[in-house]
Structure 1
Amino acid sequence: MDTKRVMTETLEDLVDKELKQFIWQLCNGVTAGLEPIPRAKLQTSDREDVVDCVVKHYPDDAGKITVQALRNMKQNELAKRLQIKLQEGQQPVQEVTRSAPESMDLQPIQSDWHRPCNIAACSQEFKDRLLTQERKDVYIPTSRSQRKGLALLITNIAFDHSSNRNGAEKDEENIEWLLRALGYSVEKHRNLSGKAISEAVKNFSKHSGHRDSDSTFVVMMSHGKRIENKDAILGVHYHTNNTGDVFFVEDIFSHLNSVNCPALIEKPKVILVQACRGRDVGGVYVSDSAFESDSWVHKEKDFVCFMSTLPDVYAYRDPANGSFFINYIVDVFSTSAYKYDIMEMFRRVASRMENDPRFIHEQQILPCIERTTLVRKFYLFPGL
């Protein structure tokens, strides 16, 4: 898609007086914290020159900033048309009917589930109202960057001595789609050793892009086990004679904490882990009786870790369609992120999985929230 052309065509609908108002927005900062464009660079009435200047000054977010400037001018219809055109060339995002029955939201997914075609978009009105009425209770997006941030995705599929994780390719495809649709830039790795996983997470923690982000995701999918009561992600070379080829989940927290990743202080850090945590089947028969600053900060805060199963329990995966945990996350986030914070979505994943008829008798599975230090509500605001 030619973003410049679409933006220029939109500005053609403004009369000269309105174009001056648009330029005034750019010179005075479209939103709080956004660096304005120097007035000297916008001494023109040529719409193509204005667009060139916006794209040069905001190379990653020119379209979004133009939409916001139009909204500030009460040119809401024009802003909506531009937003739709910009989205047509990006991840599929669409507005959805907000009147779907609540009970339908909590139904288990079907055995023939497929990833939704679109992610339901949040309305600007909902976002503005929420950030106004609940400002102290919500993680505020980084307005100057107009973007979500970075995501790290590590998927181990092929192992030297263990069974391959058939279906994990589908998980990788689905979760990458979801993260990109939510606005994250995804750094992807596949088939790593334990040491390589550690290096990838460490390097990710040093990424300069975190400074301008408002949150981050780390997703790990592999074989796993409990070692001395700690969750371990198995590297692709793991074997009874090479038991050191592991990465401990707790090390993610160490790499991304306030000491080692100050750029993510006061920003949500979401960790998703699809891996076994032991060899138990999960079910049991029970009888009737029975932020960077000079000031002091918390060493570790604003984390949430959602794991595919309880400690010591298997995680289940369909060899054709991928893991149930990832399927549910993609489905819930795609349909509900426009109105719910992340903790409520995790609850809905767990609630739906609890009622899934495919998990019967001893083969039970229930995801688990671990080591959570979120102190406010974290909304993803898809589409904005």
Structure 2
Amino acid sequence: MTGDRLALTLCVTKAREGSEEDMDALSRMFHHLKFESTMKSDPTAEQFLEELEKFQETIDDREEPVSCAFVVLMAHGEEGLLKGEDGRMVRLEDLFDVLNNKNCKALRGKPKVYIIQACRGEHRDPGEEMGGEQVAVVMKSKPQTIPTYTDSLHIFSTVEGYLSYRHDQKGSAFIQILTDVFTNKTGPITELLEEVTRRMAEMEVIQEGKPRKVNPEIQSTLRKALYLQ
């Protein structure tokens, strides 16, 4: 990436003990990866969208080209929704749309990475003794036009319908592991995320006195390999 790298972190700390640790870890990671990082604490539902729109305007108005944008969203949540500091909900889809190829010209065809640390439901995963392998199929094409929703990477702290966990002193294992891998490992981001998923799958969370398992979910429309180092 030869152009500028920009990052925006929006984090609700209210009733989310340990979230400051996650913000500190993200700040160190972005500094290491040479991103210009902006962090906002305790946005309301409306401010989530407002801050994303300001971020989009900053990118589009920038004189120098932007190579990549990271957006980190941390809050209580449900599937498809985040809860603002005011207790109201904002749709994730509305937040994702702000930087798509239609609405943010400066990021057209550029990687847009969303990291979402939030619950997506109430299910709890006790784990299974046997597991299968995932097979990813990559389809390549070179169209004359570009689809609206390409070059985005959505990294959720948990799979659809399940809780996300956070330690009230150490922060969330998801953010702590992700920042450690992104800071200390090299390679395409998809391989780094495989490492994050592997490490999270190996760990166990004790919640309500019972062991729980949790793993992130990655949704990608990237057309090219993305290297952070």
Query: Taking structure 2 as the reference length, what is the TM-score of the superposition?
Result: 0.86
Partner of 1:302: 151
Partner of 2:215: 366
Q: How far off is 1:297 after superposition?
A: 2.5
Q: How far off is 1:202 after superposition?
A: 1.2
Distance 1:311 1:380 in 2: 27
Partner of 1:332: 181
Pick from 112, 117, 123 the counterpart of residue 274 of structure 1: 117
The 1:284/1:358 distance shift into structure 2, 3 A limit, reads closer
Contact 1:233 1:246 in 2 (8 A): yes
Find out whether 1:379 has 2:222 as its counterpart: no
Distance 2:63 2:11 in 1: 22
Q: Which amino acid aligns with 1:237?
A: D
Distance 1:358 1:314 in 2: 11
Q: Which amino acid aligns with 2:67?
A: D
The 1:282/1:357 distance shift into structure 2, 3 A limit, reads closer
The 1:365/1:210 distance shift into structure 2, 3 A limit, reads farther
Partner of 2:68: 215
Find out whether 1:345 has 2:192 as its counterpart: yes
Contact 2:205 2:211 in 1 (8 A): no
Q: What's the CA shift string for 1:66-108, capped at 9, x where partnerless?
A: xxxxxxxxxxxxxxxxxxxxxxxxxxxxxxxxxxxxxxxxxxx
The 1:286/1:345 distance shift into structure 2, 3 A limit, reads closer
Q: What's the CA shift string for 1:170-214, capped at 9, x where partnerless?
A: 101111111121011111111011111011111111112385111
Find out whether 1:185 has 2:36 as its counterpart: yes
Contact 2:203 2:213 in 1 (8 A): no
Aligned alpha-carbon RMSD (Å): 2.0
Distance 1:317 1:210 in 2: 39
Distance 1:153 1:357 in 2: 27
For residues 67-146 of structure 1, the aligned pairs below 5 Å read 141-142=1-2, 145=3
Distance 1:357 1:285 in 2: 12
Structure 1 counterpart SS, 2:218:
strand
For residues 146-185 of structure 1, the aligned pairs below 5 Å read 148-158=4-14, 164-185=15-36
Q: Which amino acid aligns with 1:155?
A: C
Instruction: Report how many aligned residue pairs link the two structures.
Output: 212
Find out whether 1:354 has 2:210 as its counterpart: no
Find out whether 1:247 has 2:90 as its counterpart: yes
For residues 8-47 of structure 1, the aligned pairs below 5 Å read none
Percent identity over the alignment is 28
Pick from 282, 291, 314 the counterpart of residue 163 of structure 2: 314
Q: How far off is 1:296 after superposition?
A: 3.2
Q: What's the CA shift string for 1:329-384, capped at 9, x where partnerless?
A: 01111210xx31101111110011111144696511011112x1101110012xxx
Distance 1:345 1:251 in 2: 27
Q: How far off is 1:285 after superposition?
A: 6.3
Q: Which runs of 5+ in 2 are unaligned?
A: 131-143
Partner of 2:83: 234
Q: Which has the larger radius of gyration?
A: 1
The 1:267/1:285 distance shift into structure 2, 3 A limit, reads closer
More helix by share: 1
Q: Which amino acid aligns with 2:85?
A: V
Structure with the bigger RCO (C-alpha within 8 Å, sep 6+) is 2
Partner of 1:199: 50
Q: What's the CA shift string for 1:297-355, capped at 9, x where partnerless?
A: 2211100011100111111111111001001001111210xx31101111110011111
Q: Which amino acid aligns with 1:185?
A: E
Q: Which amino acid aligns with 2:8?
A: L
Contact 1:149 1:209 in 2 (8 A): no
Partner of 2:139: none
More strand by share: 2
Query: Taking structure 1 as the reference length, what is the TM-score of the superposition?
Result: 0.52
Q: Which amino acid aligns with 1:215?
A: C
Distance 2:62 2:159 in 1: 33
